[in-house]
Amino acid sequence: MTIRTRFAPSPTGFLHVGGARTALFGWLQARAGQGTFILRIEDTDLERSTPESVQAILDGMAWLGLDYDEGPIFQTQRFERYAQVVQKLLDEDKAYHCFCSKECLQALREQQMKDGDKPRYNGKCRHLEAIPEGIDPVVRFRNPHSGKVVFEDLIRGRISISNDELDDLIIARPDGSPTYNFTVVVDDMDMGITHVIRGDDHINNTPRQINIYRALAAEPPIFAHVPMILGDDGARLSKRHGALGVMQYRDDGYLAPALLNYLVRLGWSHGDQEVFSVDEMVELFDIRDVNRKASAFNTEKLNWLNQHYMKNLPAGEVAEQLAWHFSDQGISTASGPALEDVVGVQAERVKSLKEMAAQSRVFFEAYEAFDPNAAKKHLRPVAAEPLEAVLKNLQLLDDWSPGPLHAVIDRVAAELKVGMGKV
RNA sequence: GCUCCCUUCGUCUAGCGGUCCAGGACGCGGCCCUCUCAAGGCUGAAACACGAGUUCGAUUCUCGUAGGGAGCGCCA
């Protein structure tokens, strides 16, 4: 069987680390089996979906190097297909129109909660003889009343829930637009998805989705529900509490391979190995080895990995990323040492590229100001002033020349009795 | 409230009945190296949530308890 996986975010914000890890797992599973990885944008919520979010997701995935073979496929472009399937279910009496008002359903829910029951639709419109006038109905899926749904989750193991816990969910709104639990099924079915790898907040939706597959006479895919990621403090990682978009990590000076490595080790391991190249991940990863419990994001460890990659990746590769930070910080690197050399000297002193650029600023300014060929005559007053004092104090000014960078760094640092972070 | 799910050092994890008075990594402490800061080497403290049961033997299997999470939308 050729593996087909997909990542299906809804474009209502940036790509955060939790989503990125889910995408990574799906991507790895596909790459490992020479399968296909598909990107699908779940934008059926017209209210909250934005083109900016779509772009943010695309940017995030591109930065991480998670390339997809098919897509992006937008659900909003498949409304015709959904309508067709809804009609089919209606024709086969596997779905029905429901005329209950939102208010009525709300009242029902409250009553059930009050009685200590699990709120669910009571099936009032299941067998309606008279069709009420003047109401645009929703369409509900006729869920089986008896029996239970059992499935083998690749990560959680066997999960079973009895059908009487489930109610008849709405698959189409009065205006005909489809709802999530229905579109996922139709899409995954149409796209031939073999492994559905998604966040474990979807576990509870899975049984009802399986019922829809059955109604459609389709074989359900294999499911793998990955646990969520908690914040540094162990609390839920939410947008307003520490959740950052992956591009923020780029801006903060992290290398994509470091973030990827960190993310893959969060909830997954291969013996005692900590460092994985992308190729190794592809070779060793198996979704079945993913842990069940939620894990807390640990920035300290990410920092360690980031530095590891700054030191061990080919300097040229790191320099490319570093260049972005120099320009981001408005530092001219026109004159001065080669960026590869900066990486070579600075990598073991800082935790991020952003820091590396910031701390190298003084040297680039020095090079510019003390250019032996031209700058001797016109020291740039503003930038050169404090630096000049430092160098004079170090008696470096006389013999200054763009020599070995690390010697200068070491002498400046020694004089100031601090790490370069303070310079 | 109801249903489903989770539980090894502070954190990420190894462990798939005896090899575990529980191993690795980040972080933290100490020592060494060193003109500073790092980096590097060595080293130390630090965990099987609790209670029953199964078993000759449980971190590992079963069941409870406690704690945590998710879902219960005409959101995805």
DSSP A285: -
Q: Where are any strands of DSSP class E within A252-364?
A: 295-296
How many CB atoms are located within 10 Å of the residue A69 CB?
12
Evaluate if the CB of A253 falls below 7 Å from strand B: no
Distance CA A171, CA A182 (A): 6
Say how far apart CA A68 and CA A9 lie, in whole Å. 14
Q: How far is CA A179 from the centre of its chain?
A: 23
Instruction: Give the nearest nucleotide to A262, CA to C1'.
Output: B12
A99 touches strand B (CB under 7 A): no
The pLDDT score that the predictor gives to residue A400 is 39
Q: Which two tokens stand for residue A157?
A: 């193991």
Q: Coil, helix or strand for A410?
A: helix
**A355 close to A322: Cβ distance less than 8 angstroms:** no
Token code pair at residue A41: 């944008």
Spacing of A158 CA from B54 C1' in Å: 22
Residue A258 to residue A148: CA distance in whole angstroms = 44
Low-confidence ranges of chain A (pLDDT < 70): 237-243, 335-337, 362-363, 365-423
pTM of structure: 0.87
Phi, psi of A149 (to 5 degrees): -105, 130
Asked if A342 CB < 7 A from strand B, the reply is no
Please tell me whether any atom of strand B lies within 7 Å of the Cβ of A295: yes
Query: Which nucleotide is nearest to A137 if distance is taken from CA to C1'?
Result: B74
Whether a cis peptide bond, with omega within 30° of 0, leads into A137 is no
CB within 8 A of A153, min separation 6: which ones? Answer: A159, A203, A206, A223, A224, A225
A90 touches strand B (CB under 7 A): no
Task: Determine the Cα–Cα distance for residues A124 and A104; give it in Å rounded to an integer.
Answer: 11
Provide the residue count of chain A: 423
Question: Strand B contacts (CB < 7 A) among A residues 19-48?
Answer: 42, 44-45, 48
Residue A135, CB, strand B, below 7 Å: no
- Closest C-alpha to A177, from A82, A98, A47, A97: A82
Task: Say how far apart CA A351 and CA A300 lie, in whole Å.
Answer: 10
Please name the nucleotide lying closest to A120, CA to C1'. Answer: B72
A53/B10 CA-to-C1' distance in Å: 36
- Asked if residue A117 keeps its beta carbon closer than 7 A to nucleic acid strand B, the reply is yes
Measured between alpha carbons, how far is A408 from A398 in angstroms, rounded to an integer? Answer: 13
For nucleotide B6, the protein residue with its alpha carbon nearest to C1' is A293
What pLDDT does A371 receive? 44
In this complex, the answer to whether residue A293 has its CB under 7 A from any atom of chain B, a nucleic strand, is yes
CA-to-C1' span, A233 to B67 (A): 17
Residues 6+ apart with CB under 8 A from A244: A16, A17
ipTM above 0.90, yes or no: yes
Q: Which nucleotides of B are covered by protein (CB under 7 A)?
A: 1-8, 10-14, 23-27, 35-39, 69-76
Angle, to 10 degrees, between the axis of helix A353-369 and the axis of helix A381-393? 90
Tens digits of residue pLDDT in A342-359:
788 788 888 899 988 887
Q: How many angstroms separate the CA atoms of A247 and A253, rounded?
A: 10
Nearest nucleotide to A420 (CA to C1') is B37
Amino acid A306 CA to nucleotide B16 C1' distance, rounded Å: 32
Tokens of A30: 């596909």
CA–C1' distance A21–B13 (Å)? 17
Q: Which residue type, as a one-letter code, is found at position A153?
A: D
**Does at least one atom of strand B sit less than 7 Å from the CB of A102?**
yes
Token couple for A144: 């089986």
Whether A124 CB is under 7 Å from strand B: no
Strand B closer than 7 Å to the CB of A54? no
Query: Is there contact between A291 and strand B, defined as CB under 7 Å from any strand atom?
Result: yes
Q: What is the pLDDT of residue A202?
A: 93
Nucleotide with C1' nearest the A412 CA: B36
Closest CA to A99 of A134, A66, A65: A134
